[in-house]
């Protein structure tokens, strides 16, 4: 028994020495899986250029991301946070102010995004805008001769059983707010949203939760239309060669902004700054869009480096589109719980 | 004999200890500790690791009763469990009978292997294979239309039957295995005696085989019913918009909204309900076994 304990202790000590030794030049990145930062070619190029080693870790929801930051102080150097959650992360002292002078590419970020009140607190930047995109509609090209213009296509009797929506309470309620002509960040008439979503339920084929779900259903021609993220629709078309097109309905759509932050206690702030700088670099962005498909970069020079006809430059850069979209603002925990209760009720009553 | 039994537990436990200890240590570590942590969480307002203030509350348990939502869900999950168990018995018992009483030698080994084959593949892989079979334009649809002279459209994907099919497929081996063990123990001469005394085949089945095989049927039913009531993977992937069950809502609390306390409370309510059902059924079960 003593020998066993001795062996175990030795192993633990040895392992922690290994971990400690390896930490010197590592950049620990926390992000969604398959979302740019873990592309093998990008990681390789960054490691070659800076000598830092990238260690990726992933989350499946914003709540999980916050929990990982809370429970592993000092582990992560870079974290990707939806701007709507930046405020919460800052007030819980999970992320630290960023010195933008150390990130040369930050100067090219479009001023409205760089100065977003969601990312800046007391004159300090807590997030570097990376990409933005929409939660809009995407269609199966095989099912439409001309793309629909209105969100009402989701309620079209002819599409019954061939419509999908994401299994996410906040997204679903905000989608309902747009369909009823309301402000997504200040929903006055919740009953109207509920009634609208109730009438949508019989149309639904299934609730999707990952990009893979959506793409498989289009590949096997099981759906016509559904809510989808703009970057994912682009990836479905570019990387997977699927007949998918993004539609920004005339009623508008939900927009989100993703930004990089540096957690409190990061052991490699210089490496983190270098990584963020690389992520917002035009060269990385163009390669990401061409090889994989991506949302729209917050860096104006990066978008300008895209071919003129590309979707992210032509459609997403269109001032007419800019007028229709509504950026997500932070949501309180009470609101989130209320949304979830409503969404679960809708899902249960459908049976 | 009596003295033997009385002395048994005391004198027998010491030499047995080295054999028992690893299993019990492991059970304590792997089941008791996490479970008691979850029981602890279920009475909290927030997880302590979230860095927020927390206190003890019974709010999470009250949430179950505050709306009809969770009760409805639990009811539909219990119904799902009953239906799946019934189908497993209907499919598994005859198969076990053939295995135990009809087949001999190599053919039995081969069929037996086929029965436990599903255990060797990953559960998620099995469900996704069903998704390929059941959908419109999927394998079942194409094959049926190739054989049948008329055109039919088979689209079972994202429906309640799809959930039943997926779950029955996953759990039927348990029923076959437990029934096989009890059926094999039935002495053939009993059946021959009944037949020679004039019992019909149906009578032999009803009055001899089923009662003797009852312990296996019940063990199988319990093994299937309990996990099916809490299942979430099959309903979520195969059920589509009809796939919201008690298990999927618990999963949402853990994965989507990170409300571990509520998820834990819902899990313990499920555990309590299942235990109550088993306890209520135990007189019947005891008589049968």
Q: Kindly identify which residue of chain A lies nearest to residue B241, measuring between CA atoms.
A: A206
At residue B9, does pLDDT exceed 70?
no
Q: Which pLDDT value is given to residue B6?
A: 45
- Cβ–Cβ under 8 Å, residues A207 and A348: no
Distance CA B163, CA B169 (A): 10
Distance (Å) of CA A305 to CA A308, A322, B75, B83: 9, 20, 57, 59
H helix or E strand, kind and range, residue A8: helix A2-22
**Residue contact A168–B256, C-beta within 8 A:** yes
Q: Kindly identify which residue of chain A lies nearest to residue B77, measuring between CA atoms.
A: A348
Does residue B128 belong to the interface with chain A, where contact is any CB pair within 8 Å? Answer: no
**Residue contact A341–B67, C-beta within 8 A:** yes
Nearest by CB to A350, from B73, B137, B241: name it.
B241
Does residue B252 belong to the interface with chain A, where contact is any CB pair within 8 Å? Answer: yes
Q: Which pLDDT value is given to residue B2?
A: 43
Look over chain B and give the mean of its residue pLDDT values, rounded to a whole number. Answer: 87
Higher pLDDT, B44 or B151: B44
Q: Which pLDDT value is given to residue A209?
A: 83
Q: Which pLDDT value is given to residue A41?
A: 95
Distance CA A253, CA A181 (A): 11
pLDDT in tens, B101-126: 898 889 888 988 888 887 788 888 88
**Residue contact B244–A350, C-beta within 8 A:** yes
Q: Which pLDDT value is given to residue B5?
A: 45
Does residue B218 belong to the interface with chain A, where contact is any CB pair within 8 Å? Answer: no
Nearest by CB to B241, from A61, A204, A337: name it.
A204
Q: Which pLDDT value is given to residue A349?
A: 81
At residue B149, does pLDDT exceed 90?
no
In DSSP notation, A49-109 reads HH-PEEEEEE-SSHHHHHHHHHHSTTT-SEEEEEHHHHHHHHHTT-EE---GGG-GGGGGB
At residue B174, does pLDDT exceed 90?
yes
Distance CA B61, CA B63 (A): 5
Residue numbers in B near A351 (CB within 8 A): 76, 242, 244
Residue numbers in B near A4 (CB within 8 A): none
CA distance B95 to chain A (A): 34
**Residue contact B257–A61, C-beta within 8 A:** yes
Beta bridge partner(s), residue A256: A133
For the segment B137-163, the average pLDDT, to the nearest whole number, is: 86
- Cβ–Cβ under 8 Å, residues B269 and B192: no
CA distance between the termini of chain B: 25
Does residue B125 belong to the interface with chain A, where contact is any CB pair within 8 Å? Answer: no
**Residue contact A341–B138, C-beta within 8 A:** no
Full set of structural domains in chain A with CATH? 2-132+257-309 (3.40.190.10), 133-255+328-349 (3.40.190.10)
Q: Which pLDDT value is given to residue B288?
A: 62
- Cβ–Cβ under 8 Å, residues A128 and A233: no
Q: Which two tokens stand for residue B138?
A: 């999927």
Residue numbers in B near A221 (CB within 8 A): 137
- Cβ–Cβ under 8 Å, residues A89 and A81: yes
At residue B50, does pLDDT exceed 50?
yes
CA distance B212 to chain A (A): 40
CA distance B252 to chain A (A): 10
Q: Is the dihedral of CA A96, A97, A102, A103 positive or negative?
A: positive
Q: Which pLDDT value is given to residue B252?
A: 84
Does residue B67 belong to the interface with chain A, where contact is any CB pair within 8 Å? Answer: yes
Q: Which pLDDT value is given to residue A23?
A: 47
- Cβ–Cβ under 8 Å, residues A209 and A166: yes
**Residue contact A61–B258, C-beta within 8 A:** yes
At residue B233, does pLDDT exceed 60?
yes
Q: Which pLDDT value is given to residue B54?
A: 81
Full set of structural domains in chain B with CATH? 67-288 (1.10.3720.10)
**Cα torsion at A329, A335, A341, A346 (round to 10°)?**
-40
pLDDT band at B19; cut points 50, 70, 90:
confident
Tens of each residue's pLDDT in chain A, 351 residues: 455 555 555 554 444 444 444 445 899 999 998 899 999 999 999 999 999 999 999 987 788 898 889 888 999 999 999 999 999 999 989 999 999 999 999 999 999 999 999 999 999 999 999 999 999 999 999 999 999 999 999 999 999 999 999 988 999 999 999 999 999 999 999 999 999 999 999 999 999 988 888 999 999 899 999 999 998 999 999 889 999 999 999 999 999 999 999 999 999 999 999 999 999 999 999 999 999 989 999 999 999 999 988 888 888 888 889 899 999 999 887 888 889 889 988 998 875
Q: Kindly identify which residue of chain B lies nearest to residue A213, measuring between CA atoms.
A: B237
Nearest by CB to B136, from A167, A169, A222: name it.
A222
Q: Which pLDDT value is given to residue B112?
A: 87
Q: Which pLDDT value is given to residue A18?
A: 45
Nearest by CB to A222, from B135, B243, B258: name it.
B135
Place of tokens 């008690």: B246
Distance CA A295, CA A233 (A): 9
**Residue contact B69–A70, C-beta within 8 A:** no
**Residue contact A340–B243, C-beta within 8 A:** no
Does residue B69 belong to the interface with chain A, where contact is any CB pair within 8 Å? Answer: yes
User: b vs e for A276-296, b when ≥16 Cβ sit within 10 Å of the residue's Cβ?
Assistant: bbbbbbbebbbbbbeebbbbb
Does residue B112 belong to the interface with chain A, where contact is any CB pair within 8 Å? Answer: no
Q: Which pLDDT value is given to residue A309?
A: 85
As for the ipTM of the complex, it is 0.74
Does residue B159 belong to the interface with chain A, where contact is any CB pair within 8 Å? Answer: no
pLDDT band at B10; cut points 50, 70, 90:
low
pLDDT band at B52; cut points 50, 70, 90:
low
Distance CA A166, CA A170 (A): 10
Q: Which pLDDT value is given to residue A5?
A: 53
Q: Which two tokens stand for residue B238?
A: 């195969």
Residue numbers in A near B136 (CB within 8 A): 222
Distance CA B171, CA B131 (A): 17
Q: Which pLDDT value is given to residue B7?
A: 47
Residue A187 sits at the vertex; the CA angle it makes with A185 and A190, to the nearest 5 degrees, is 150
CA distance A32 to chain B (A): 14
Q: Is the dihedral of CA A219, A220, A225, A226 positive or negative?
A: negative
Q: Which pLDDT value is given to residue B53?
A: 73
- Cβ–Cβ under 8 Å, residues A61 and A47: no
């Amino acid at each position: 028994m003593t020998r066993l304990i001795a062996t175990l202790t030795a192993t633990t000590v040895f392992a922690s020495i290994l971990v400690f030794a390896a930490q010197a030049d590592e950049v620990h990145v926390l992000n969604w899986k398959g979302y740019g930062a873990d592309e093998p070619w990008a990681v390789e190029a960054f490691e070659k250029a800076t000598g830092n080693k990238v260690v990726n870790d992933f989350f499946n929801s914003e709540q999980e991301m916050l929990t990982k930051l809370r429970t592993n102080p000092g582990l992560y150097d870079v974290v990707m946070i939806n701007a709507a959650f930046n405020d919460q992360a800052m007030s819980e002292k999970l992320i630290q102010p960023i010195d933008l002078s150390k990130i040369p590419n930050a100067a090219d970020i479009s001023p409205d995004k760089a100065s977003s009140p969601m990312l800046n607190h007391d004159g300090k930047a807590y997030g570097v805008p990376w990409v933005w995109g929409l939660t809009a509609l995407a269609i199966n090209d095989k099912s439409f001769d001309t793309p629909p213009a209105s969100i009402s296509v989701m309620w079209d009797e002819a599409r019954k059983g061939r419509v999908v929506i994401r299994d996410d309470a906040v997204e679903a309620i905000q989608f309902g707010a747009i369909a009823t002509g309301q402000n997504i960040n200040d929903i006055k008439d919740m009953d109207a949203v509920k009634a609208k979503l109730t009438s949508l339920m019989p149309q639904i084929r299934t609730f999707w939760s990952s990009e893979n779900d959506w793409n498989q259903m289009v590949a096997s021609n099981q759906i016509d239309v559904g809510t989808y993220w703009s970057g994912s629709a682009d990836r479905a078309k570019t990387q997977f060669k699927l007949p998918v097109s993004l539609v920004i309905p005339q009623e508008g759509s939900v927009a989100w902004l993703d930004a990089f932050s540096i957690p409190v206690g990061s052991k490699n702030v210089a490496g983190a700054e270098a990584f963020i700088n690389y992520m917002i670099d035009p060269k990385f962005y163009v390669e990401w869009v061409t090889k994989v498909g991506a949302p729209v970069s917050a860096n104006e020079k990066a978008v300008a480096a895209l071919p003129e006809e590309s979707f992210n430059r032509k459609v997403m850069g269109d001032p007419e589109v800019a007028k229709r979209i509504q950026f997500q603002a932070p949501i309180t925990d009470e609101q989130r719980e209320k949304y979830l209760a409503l969404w679960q009720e809708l899902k249960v009553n459908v049976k | 004999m009596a003295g033997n039994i009385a002395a048994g537990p005391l004198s027998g436990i010491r030499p047995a200890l080295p054999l028992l200890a690893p299993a019990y240590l492991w059970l304590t570590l792997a089941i008791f500790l996490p479970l008691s942590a979850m029981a602890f969480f279920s009475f909290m307002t927030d997880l302590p690791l979230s860095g927020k203030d927390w206190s003890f509350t019974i709010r999470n348990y009250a949430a179950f009763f505050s709306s009809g939502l969770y009760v409805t869900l639990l009811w539909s999950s219990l119904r799902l469990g009953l239906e799946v168990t019934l189908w497993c018995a209907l499919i598994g018992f005859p198969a076990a009978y053939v295995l135990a009483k009809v087949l001999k030698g190599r053919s039995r080994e081969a069929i037996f292997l086929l029965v436990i084959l599903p255990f060797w593949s990953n559960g998620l892989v099995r469900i996704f294979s069903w998704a390929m079979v059941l959908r419109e334009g999927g394998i079942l649809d194409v094959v049926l239309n190739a054989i049948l002279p008329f055109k039919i459209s088979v689209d079972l994907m994202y429906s309640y039957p799809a959930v039943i099919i997926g779950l029955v497929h996953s759990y039927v081996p348990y029923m076959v295995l437990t029934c096989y063990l009890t059926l094999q123990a039935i002495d053939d001469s009993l059946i021959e005696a009944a037949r020679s005394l004039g019992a019909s085949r149906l009578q032999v089945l009803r009055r001899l085989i089923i009662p003797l095989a009852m312990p296996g049927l019940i063990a199988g039913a319990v093994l299937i019913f309990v996990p099916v009531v809490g299942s979430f993977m099959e309903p979520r992937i195969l059920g589509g918009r009809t796939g919201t069950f008690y298990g999927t809502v618990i999963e949402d609390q853990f994965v989507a909204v990170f409300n571990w306390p509520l998820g834990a409370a819902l899990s313990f309510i499920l555990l309590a309900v299942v235990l109550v059902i088993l306890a209520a059924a135990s007189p019947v079960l005891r008589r049968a076994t």
